[in-house]
Structures are given as structure tokens and as C-alpha cells.
């Protein structure tokens, strides 16, 4: 049996704090994708909530320096503020998508 290479390290092999950091960065990347907002607004809201939860969890980790936790606190506050905006945008997209395409086109023609 061969030994695993360093590049084959799985997330579950990371120390707990690093696994949370890696997961948070992955969620932030997914959240930032513009298509995600248009195609899957509800999932984007859920990702944003999970990012906020991860940041709150990281804030409680004594292994992290005070300076790093101050940065996390600022990020956590920003994510909380963005949460309401993300929810509003998701509701607007879902409401717009609730109408069939032909109804939206008819309404647009009437406005012209």
C-alpha cells in the first residue's frame, strides 16, 4: 500500500480550525459567483448564512490571535449586514420568476 501524497490531503485530515477556515473560504467563493445569485437565490442566502455561522465559530477559537479575531469580527458584522440584502434580492428574483415568461413579456409590451 502506497502512502498518500501531500497534495491528496482531504479536508477531514485538516486540523479542525483549518477545516473551518477552508470551508468558509469555499462558501465565500460560491457565494460570490454572480450566476449563483440569479439561478439559485435561495441557495445563495443559505450559503451566506453558513458563512456567518462559520465566522461566529471562528471568533470563539482561542488558537487564533486577537488580531485575527478582530478581522473576523469585522467580517462577521459585514456578513450580517449583507444577509438582509441577500434575502431581499432573493425574494425579488423569486417573485419575478413566479410569473410565466409569456406573462412577463406581455407586461413588458404593455409598458412600452
Q: For residue 5, is it within any domain?
A: no
**Averaged pLDDT, 80-105:** 74
Tell me what pLDDT residue 104 has.
52
Q: 2: pLDDT confidence band, cut at 50, 70 and 90?
A: very low
Q: List the grid coordinates of 81.
A: 449586514
d(CA 65, CA 68): 5
pLDDT digits (tens, 9 = 90+) for 31-75: 888 676 777 788 888 888 999 999 999 999 998 999 999 999 999
Q: What is the extent of the structural domain holding 61? A: 14-111
Written as one string, the DSSP assignment of 1-61 is -PPPPGGG--GGGS-HHHHHHHHHHHHHHHHH-HHHHHH-HHHHHHHHHHHHHHHHHHHT-
Pairs from 41-44 (Cβ < 8 Å, separation ≥ 24): 41/89, 41/90, 41/93, 41/94, 42/90, 42/94, 44/86, 44/90
Residue 2 lies in a domain: no
Tally of domains within the chain:
1
With respect to residue 8, please indicate whether it lies within any of the assigned structural domains: no
- The answer to whether residue 76 sits within a structural domain is yes
pTM: 0.67
22 part of a folded domain: yes
Alpha-carbon gap, residue 98 to 55, rounded angstroms: 33
User: Is residue 102 a part of any domain in this protein?
Assistant: yes
Q: What mean pLDDT is reported for the chain?
A: 79
Residue 55's pLDDT is what?
Answer: 95
Residue 7 forms part of a structural domain: no
On whether residue 52 sits in a domain, the answer given is: yes
Amino acid at each position: 500500500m502506497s502512502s498518500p501524497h501531500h497534495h491528496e490531503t482531504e479536508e477531514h485530515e485538516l486540523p479542525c480550525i483549518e477545516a473551518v477556515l477552508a470551508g468558509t473560504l469555499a462558501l465565500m467563493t460560491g457565494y460570490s459567483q454572480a450566476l449563483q445569485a440569479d439561478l439559485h437565490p435561495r441557495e445563495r442566502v443559505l450559503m451566506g448564512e453558513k458563512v456567518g455561522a462559520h465566522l461566529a465559530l471562528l471568533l470563539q477559537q482561542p488558537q487564533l490571535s486577537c488580531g485575527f479575531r478582530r478581522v473576523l469580527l469585522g467580517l462577521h458584522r459585514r456578513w450580517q449586514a449583507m444577509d438582509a440584502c441577500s434575502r431581499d434580492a432573493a425574494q425579488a428574483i423569486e417573485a419575478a420568476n413566479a410569473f410565466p415568461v409569456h406573462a412577463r413579456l406581455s407586461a413588458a409590451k404593455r409598458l412600452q
